[in-house]
Chain A
Amino acid sequence: MLTGQFLLLGAILFCIGVYGVIARKNAVLVLMSIELILNSVNINLLAFALRNGSADGHTFALYVIAVAAAEVGVGLAMVLLIYRNRRNIGLDELSEMHG
């Protein structure tokens, strides 16, 4: 079947996500990159579930989707906090503390 292609798609999405987390300086874009990684995980899980013929992967993917929604909720709330206090969501300017 197409399992190989799905896994390749998952791997490409994962790499784009990791690149985005490292390269982007905007909090919202970093959050989006993390979502990309989580979706690559979902594609992987579903492809494997198809190949293995078991329902475990589907269940796992459902959990990942639910938890990702919770994570984004908290993440956007924090970005909003930062924006309210600083009028800016650039991560490289978040440097109140260092050393």
Chain B
Amino acid sequence: MTLSLTLAAGWVAPTIDYHALAPEIVLAIGLTVVLLVDLFTTERNKWLLSVLTGFSLLGAVLPVLTLMLHDNSVRSLFDGRYVVDEFSLVMKGLFLLAGYVIVLLSTSHVEEGDYWRGEYWFLLLSSLLGMMMMASARDLVSVFVALEFLSIPAYMLAAWRKRDVKSNEAGVKYFLLGVFASAVMLYGMSMLYGVANSTLLIDIGKSIDLDGAFGAVQALAIVFVVVGFAFKVSAVPFHTWAPDTYEGAPTPVTAFLSVASKAAGFTALVVMVLTAFPEGRDVWQPFIWGLSALTMTVGNLFALRQTNFVRMIAYSSVSQGGFVLMPLAVAGGPAGESALRAVVVYLLVYAATNLGMFAVILAVSRKTRSGEISSLGGLFSYAPAMGVLLTLFLASLAGIPPLGGWIGKFSAFQALLTDATPWAYVLAIIGAVNSVIAFGYYGNIMREVWMRPVPHGDTTPIVTPSSIQIALGITAVVTLLFGILPGIVLRFGEMAELLGAFGG
């Protein structure tokens, strides 16, 4: 007690670099405005909210850009507890743009349902603000607070359709497993703090010594923390919530969870293993290796037997998560930097492709009102543009050149081959086999789209709202661009220097 009082007496206000915090500040202002405007507008004017949400996201992109262009120096705030480095800027850009596409996808969906519109936009922005903080958090407390900040609104979004039993179930499953995972992770964090006597990730990195007196405690703590994030990125065997939540939640929310929320989980995982646990690599490398192999295989095998489209995408995104974990399994070794690059590249490409996929699903299901794969029969014959776009996104997910997906898979395999250990080669082979299995279910949908007859002969054209058309345009262009000019996305990957990793 005396100690805390002396600390309090010597306290001086930290100098705050407002430029570095500008994206978060813009977003925080944006979400407050959305909440207030929701309070004072009538039902007829609620459309304003989606516009405001979109503008605050784009407004927050501007400071991210100026920070990227300004200079290369790393901005470290609050004694290194909050760091704005290139890695965090690239991830923030990803979250904001993914968030913007999700706003485009949600607009028509939200306007047409008689649900709680203001709350929807507010929760979406809150969760995105949590993700932005996650990208910069370099302290156990800020990592924990950011994780809960992004998760709690996401739980509510999943259960957003209050009177729909499926949506309730989606929310409760996501909530209980998510909270359980973060509680287990906190227990690990408390042990890390206990041994290191600091909550700064860099100090924890210095304190980790697996052969030391507290080696066993630290090993256990590392496993607990990785398990906590494995839930967030729905890695097998911690994926059980994902298919039910993805199917039950409103479709734009599913897009949000499977892209933005997953990318945030990976961001945190990358920061933790590379800045806090580099000395603990003998524990987390084999653990992530196992998670990655299991996630790819189990996700794929379950995806093969799905008849519901959204559920199949859920399992496909589980298995895609395994591919992102793949380079992380060698991130502690000599291939560390190329592993970090591979994770960033994969996340960027995956975000564009998967969001595009959801845009097609949303557009098509407006007509078919069904989530079954068979409802896509003959899509090309009556909606050629949708058919072509769906094929494009599926091919990108499967990793066929010259689409974005292949460059993601390419850099993941490259990281494994750079590591050049037998275990890395084995994982590369498992990954290659799984890429082939994935063709099975992606191809199945393509066959439905191109060759099968139209169900009930209903060939009325699909009316796509302009917001979804814009979203389709953005994602398709980005997916193609990343594949044809991989230099762009690789440059983002190379830019992504992470402060505190690799002795930097």
The reply to whether B191 and A44 form a contact with Cβ atoms under 8 Å apart is yes
A40 to B189, CA, bound (A): 12
Q: Which residues of B contact A27 (CB under 8 A)?
A: 172, 176
Instruction: Say yes or no: is B481 at the interface (Cβ < 8 Å to chain A).
Output: no
- Asked whether A70 and B141 contact (CB < 8 A) given A27-B176, A54-B197, A78-B168, the answer is no
Q: Which residues of B contact A10 (CB under 8 A)?
A: 190
The reply to whether B193 and A41 form a contact with Cβ atoms under 8 Å apart is no
**A96: which of B165, B176, B199 is its contact (CB, 8 Å)?**
B165
Number of interface residues of B (CB under 8 A): 45
Number of interface residues of A (CB under 8 A): 47
Q: Which residues of A contact B305 (CB under 8 A)?
A: 99
The reply to whether A52 and B165 form a contact with Cβ atoms under 8 Å apart is no
Instruction: Say yes or no: is B186 at the interface (Cβ < 8 Å to chain A).
Output: yes
- Who on chain B is nearest to A62 by CB? B141
- Who on chain B is nearest to A85 by CB? B165
- Who on chain B is nearest to A79 by CB? B172
- Who on chain B is nearest to A13 by CB? B187
A51 to B175, CA, bound (A): 34
A17 to B156, CA, bound (A): 24
Instruction: Say yes or no: is B184 at the interface (Cβ < 8 Å to chain A).
Output: yes
Nearest CB in chain A: distance from B496 CB, A: 28
The reply to whether B190 and A34 form a contact with Cβ atoms under 8 Å apart is no
The reply to whether B193 and A75 form a contact with Cβ atoms under 8 Å apart is no
**B244: which of A38, A53, A79, A97 is its contact (CB, 8 Å)?**
A97
The reply to whether A45 and B190 form a contact with Cβ atoms under 8 Å apart is yes
- Who on chain B is nearest to A86 by CB? B165
Contact residues of B between 183 and 210, Cβ < 8 Å to A: 183-184, 186-187, 189-191, 193-194, 197-199
Interface of A is mostly: helix
The reply to whether A56 and B198 form a contact with Cβ atoms under 8 Å apart is yes
Instruction: Say yes or no: is B373 at the interface (Cβ < 8 Å to chain A).
Output: no
Instruction: Say yes or no: is B39 at the interface (Cβ < 8 Å to chain A).
Output: no
Instruction: Say yes or no: is B222 at the interface (Cβ < 8 Å to chain A).
Output: no
- Asked whether A60 and B140 contact (CB < 8 A) given A38-B183, A97-B166, the answer is yes
Nearest CB in chain A: distance from B158 CB, A: 9
Instruction: Say yes or no: is B169 at the interface (Cβ < 8 Å to chain A).
Output: yes
The reply to whether B183 and A37 form a contact with Cβ atoms under 8 Å apart is yes
Interface string of B126-152 (1 = CB under 8 A from A): 000000000000001100110010001
The reply to whether A38 and B199 form a contact with Cβ atoms under 8 Å apart is no
Q: Which residues of B contact A74 (CB under 8 A)?
A: 152, 155-156, 175
Q: Which residues of B contact A98 (CB under 8 A)?
A: 244
A55 to B308, CA, bound (A): 52
The reply to whether A67 and B145 form a contact with Cβ atoms under 8 Å apart is yes
The reply to whether B183 and A78 form a contact with Cβ atoms under 8 Å apart is no
The reply to whether B187 and A44 form a contact with Cβ atoms under 8 Å apart is yes
- Who on chain A is nearest to B199 by CB? A56
A75 to B182, CA, bound (A): 14
- Who on chain A is nearest to B8 by CB? A55
**A37: which of B152, B184, B247, B306 is its contact (CB, 8 Å)?**
B184
The reply to whether A82 and B187 form a contact with Cβ atoms under 8 Å apart is no
A7 to B194, CA, bound (A): 10
The reply to whether A97 and B247 form a contact with Cβ atoms under 8 Å apart is yes
- Who on chain B is nearest to A43 by CB? B190
A71 to B162, CA, bound (A): 18
**A78: which of B171, B189, B193, B244 is its contact (CB, 8 Å)?**
B171
**A60: which of B148, B163, B193 is its contact (CB, 8 Å)?**
B193
A21 to B179, CA, bound (A): 11
Instruction: Say yes or no: is B7 at the interface (Cβ < 8 Å to chain A).
Output: yes
A99 to B304, CA, bound (A): 11
A54 to B169, CA, bound (A): 43
The reply to whether A41 and B187 form a contact with Cβ atoms under 8 Å apart is yes
The reply to whether A71 and B7 form a contact with Cβ atoms under 8 Å apart is no
Nearest CB in chain A: distance from B222 CB, A: 16
Residue numbers of B with Cβ under 8 A of A are 3-4, 7, 140-141, 144-145, 148, 152, 155-156, 159, 162-163, 165-166, 168-169, 171-173, 175-176, 179-180, 183-184, 186-187, 189-191, 193-194, 197-199, 243-244, 247-248, 305-306, 308, 311
Q: A60-B140, A81-B159 are in contact. List 13 more A-B contacts (CB 8 A).
A: A27-B176, A30-B176, A37-B180, A37-B186, A44-B187, A48-B190, A48-B194, A48-B197, A54-B197, A82-B172, A94-B172, A97-B166, A99-B305
**15 residue pairs bridging A and B, Cβ less than 8 Å apart:** A27-B172, A34-B176, A34-B180, A38-B183, A40-B187, A51-B194, A54-B3, A56-B193, A63-B141, A67-B144, A82-B168, A82-B172, A85-B168, A94-B173, A97-B248
Q: Which 5 residue pairs spanning A and B have beta carbons closest together? A: A48-B194, A44-B190, A37-B183, A52-B197, A55-B4
